Amino acid sequence: MINIPDFANASAVQIIFCVLAFITLLTAFLTIYSRNPIHSAIYLVICFFSIAGHYFLLNAQFLAIVHIIVYSGAIMILFLFTIMLMNLNEKKEVHRPRITRLGAIVSFVLISLILIAIFINSKPIVGEYTSTGEDYQSIKVLGKVLLNEYMVPFEFASVLLLVAMIGSVLLSKKEKLEK
């Protein structure tokens, strides 16, 4: 939790949190409820950005930036490529009955109410916080750890991702018909 000395900043942070929470819940619901898969992907990107805003409020800047790069960038590009490769048309789409949509809405509302009840009934942790003085959120510290102690696994992961990308391109490549 952020230690904010004066009341004006605390109320501003609470307002920003409430706005981000509203945007997150709204776009998550629209992601599920939207009929157009491209619109669902766009709503999911907005949801990811609002979650990154929550990370910024928690003073976890590195996690927020990595979240934006990995989820909003890479994962959503993969989703959009998948949607485009599947060539989803509304004519071929199987329409779900209204009872299924109603069940999804009821499930969403019930889970939301349960989560709200859990948050209302929860109690904050009270106790002393001991700090070692080392800043683990610092990009400089993370860079030194990644590129000194974990250099070989870091490079193995990059080679693995490169091989997976080349494999997926080769698998999706259509064979030419010989005449």
At the top level of CATH, the class of 1-119 is mainly alpha
Vertex 145, ends 143 and 148: CA angle to 5°? 95
Q: What average pLDDT does this structure show over 127-133?
A: 72
pLDDT at 28: 93
Q: Taking the alpha carbons of 51, 56, 58, 60 in that order, is the dihedral positive or negative?
A: positive
Annotated domain spans of the chain? 1-119, 135-173
pLDDT at 107: 92
The burial of 109, by beta-carbon neighbours within 10 Å (0-12 exposed, 13-18 middle, 19 or more buried), is given as exposed
Question: Residue 19: pLDDT above 90?
Answer: yes
Which tens digit of pLDDT belongs to each residue from 50-93?
Answer: 999 999 998 888 888 888 888 887 777 777 777 777 665 555 55
For 82, the enclosing helix (H) or strand (E) is helix 76-86
Would the pTM of this model clear 0.75, i.e. be above it? no
Which tens digit of pLDDT belongs to each residue from 147-172?
Answer: 888 888 878 888 888 888 887 777 77
- Which comes out higher in pLDDT, residue 114 or 153? 114
pLDDT at 7: 47
pLDDT at 139: 73
